[in-house]
Amino acid sequence: MFAFTIKRIVQAIVVMLIISLIGFSIKHNFGDPVRELVGERVTPDERAQIRDRLGLNDPFLVQYGRFLVDALHGDLGRSFFFKRPVTDIILSKAPATLELVLCASLIVILLSIPMGIYSAIYPRRLLSRLIMGSSIVGVSIPVFLTAIMLIYIFSVELGWLPSFGRGETIRLFGFWDSGLLTKDGLLHLIMPSIALSSIMLPLFIRLIRSEMMEVLESEYVKFAWAKGLHPRRVWYVHAFKNTLLPVITVGGVQLGIMVAFTILTETVFQWQGMGSMFIESVSRADTALMVSYIVVVGAIFVVVNTVVDIIYGLVNPTVRVSGRR
Amino acid sequence: MGARWQQFKASDFLHYFLRDPVAYVSFTILMVLVVSAFAAPLIAPHNPYDPSTIDIMDAETPPAWTDQGTRTFVLGTDDMGRDMLSTMLYGMRISIIIGVGAVFLQAFIGIVIGLVSGYIRRLDNILMRIADVQLSFSTYMIAIFIGAIFQMVFGVANYEKIAAPLLILIIGIAEWPQYARTVRASVLAERRKEYVEAARVIGLSKLRIMWRHILPNTLSPVLVISTVQVANAIMSEAALSFLGLGMPLTKPSLGALITAGFEYIFSGSWWITILPGILLVLLILVINLLGDWVRDYLNPKLYKG
């Protein structure tokens, strides 16, 4: 187990180094730190001086080393558009995205588990067929289209829900702008979280259903039936517990997909989170901000995946031997 | 030729295909969509790429069945005065070309890497690690990142000029691991069999064994995932276009059309967004349904979930 954990951590570090190298070479070739610092109105002489002082004439690898050291200290450069350190900007945008992901995951968990179990227990019932049928339709609808349709129905036609922004927020602990505590903020959260969960929900229903159906066929469940246990006990205690393991593993990996879809959802709803910030930084050619988003999100992914893998290794010893799922 | 046809007519494939209404209905719809997309220059009532036929005064005409609709524009017009029906047909052609092109590219990259990694054990570990890492990042994320980087490298104006091949490249790079894993798995199963052993004993080169002997036997799972991958690629393209990293508005794909209409939804012009949206969903849905059917028919054990 120890060797497995070390191996996974080393791999995570290598991946992070590669991501930072890609990020840095984009910044090195296309960003202009002098412009990010002082803007356009500086004479060429002063510009050259600043370049020298910032060490921009050093060899590539020296600069990359400096970038790494700075990044480890939480300094990823300054945004040319916002005129602030990018770490500050990302930190100020993160709560919006995290709250959105949290609400969407809650919807996914609360709906997919009962629906998945139901359609596994009664695969031939009409409701199960409806669930499975609508899940394949759900997979086929792009998330931004779901969002647009929601806006059209509930904002434009019915006028029930606000169509953009986060509404009223309350500042918690001095840095966390939360929309979860005001009625207005919650109203603004409804449609974005439904849109974001719409893509995960069908996947999870199908996953839970197929895992559960497999478990229901296994020997120990047959034995439980033979013992004459109450059906509910067999389903929820014996069978469901064992479907959770693969579901959690896949769930951890799906987090990445969720982050990718926050970019789309936030763009539609003009949600002031990290995703819309990223797309804006691309269109403004704000290299420093764009690169740091890639690095930060990459780091989140790598950490989550490593942790999920290690937990999986703890629970399921067979992966440790082969080192691979 | 006649014998082949007879053989096909008597095959299990056709029999099961005709027995399953989901399969033949979605196949028919898909054929209608593909044919009308590629026949767009012949059947479309207007040419959306020809600025001289477009009149800005026609902009935002609603579809014909509504009160202000006209017979000239059956499905209404978009914000630039282009006929929606024609623009959607041309847009669907672009979406399909990019989707299929991207799948060819990812299949090519994936098959080469899968073969190499399955047959040459020394490279296996590193190649599959790369595939794992890329998969864990989700293909959308990778596609969006590569798109963003490309746009920064080429600049917005140049990016739009070569958007279609770039999109094929982006989606191709983003989704190869699916193929690599599938091919590798079947190569690992095939390489132990006698015929490969025999080929090695004869003294054939590794390259020849991989291409001529192993590859043909790994193609059936490749075909199975290809159908669903086309739907995924079309969806990725739509997502990229929606974010402004895809087709320009002068040559819109379905995704770009949806984006273009989004602003007008608030003023009540729903058709500019909703109609291409419905077409996109229909296209992806029938491909997914067909893909599911092919998968169940060819290899019920290949996938679960």
Residue in chain A closest to B134 (alpha carbons) equals A15
All domains in chain B, ordered by first residue: 32-42+60-298 (1.10.3720.10)
Q: What is the pTM of this model?
A: 0.82
pLDDT of residue B105: 92
- Collapsing DSSP to helix, strand or coil, A108 comes out as helix
- pLDDT tier at A76 (50, 70, 90 boundaries)? confident
Q: Do B273 and A152 touch (CB under 8 A)?
A: yes
The Cβ of residue B295 has, within 10 Å, a number of other Cβ atoms equal to: 18
pLDDT of residue B104: 92
Residue in chain A closest to B276 (alpha carbons) equals A145
Task: State yes or no: pLDDT of A248 exceeds 50.
Answer: yes
The Cβ of residue B124 has, within 10 Å, a number of other Cβ atoms equal to: 16
Structure tokens at B44: 């479309």
| Rounded-to-5 percentages of helix, strand, coil across chain B | 75, 0, 25
Q: What is the DSSP string of B184-235?
A: HHHHHHHTTSHHHHHHHHHT--HHHIIIIIIGGGGHHHHHHHHHHHHHHHHH
CA distance, residue B272 to nearest chain A CA (Å): 12
Q: Do A259 and B141 touch (CB under 8 A)?
A: yes
- pLDDT tier at A228 (50, 70, 90 boundaries)? confident
Over residues A80-87, mean pLDDT: 78
pLDDT of residue A251: 75
Q: Do A279 and B244 touch (CB under 8 A)?
A: yes
Rounded to whole angstroms, the Cα distance separating A115 from A131 reads: 7
Q: What is the pLDDT of residues A89-107, one digit of tens each?
A: 888 888 888 888 888 888 8
B162 has a chain A CB within 8 A of its CB? no
Residues of B with CB below 8 A from A283's CB? 156, 244
Residues of B with CB below 8 A from A145's CB? 258, 277, 280-281
pLDDT of residue B302: 46
Residues of B with CB below 8 A from A298's CB? 137
Over residues A107-117, mean pLDDT: 87
Residue in chain B closest to A138 (alpha carbons) equals B285
Q: What is the pLDDT of residues B11-67, one digit of tens each?
A: 777 777 777 788 888 888 888 888 888 887 777 777 777 766 666 666 666 766 666
Task: State yes or no: pLDDT of A129 exceeds 60.
Answer: yes
Q: A with B: how many residue pairs have Cβ under 8 Å apart? A: 108
pLDDT of residue A237: 77
Write out residues 1-60 of B within 8 Å (CB-CB) of A.
none
Q: What is the pLDDT of residues A272-284, one digit of tens each?
A: 888 888 888 887 7
Residues of B with CB below 8 A from A163's CB? 266
Chain-wide mean pLDDT for chain A? 79
pLDDT of residue A318: 61
Of A264, A283, A285, the CB nearest to B242: A264
Counting beta carbons within 10 angstroms of the beta carbon of residue A41, is it exposed (0 to 12), middle (13 to 18) or buried (19 or more)?
A: exposed
Higher pLDDT, A240 or B301: A240
Of B140, B153, B245, the CB nearest to A30: B153
pLDDT of residue A324: 44
Q: Do B281 and A15 touch (CB under 8 A)?
A: no
With a cut of 50, which residues of chain B have pLDDT below it? Answer: 302-305
Residue in chain B closest to A309 (alpha carbons) equals B136
pLDDT of residue B122: 81
B138 has a chain A CB within 8 A of its CB? yes
pLDDT of residue A160: 77
Q: What is the pLDDT of residues A190-225, one digit of tens each?
A: 888 888 888 888 888 888 888 888 888 888 888 888
Residues of B with CB below 8 A from A214's CB? 304
pLDDT of residue A33: 65
- pLDDT tier at A325 (50, 70, 90 boundaries)? very low
Task: State yes or no: pLDDT of A167 exceeds 80.
Answer: no
Write out residues 188-207 of B within 8 Å (CB-CB) of A.
none
B243 has a chain A CB within 8 A of its CB? yes
For residues A185 and A179, the answer to whether their CB atoms sit within 8 Å is: yes
Rounded to whole angstroms, the Cα distance separating B151 from B160 reads: 9
CA distance, residue A63 to nearest chain B CA (Å): 20
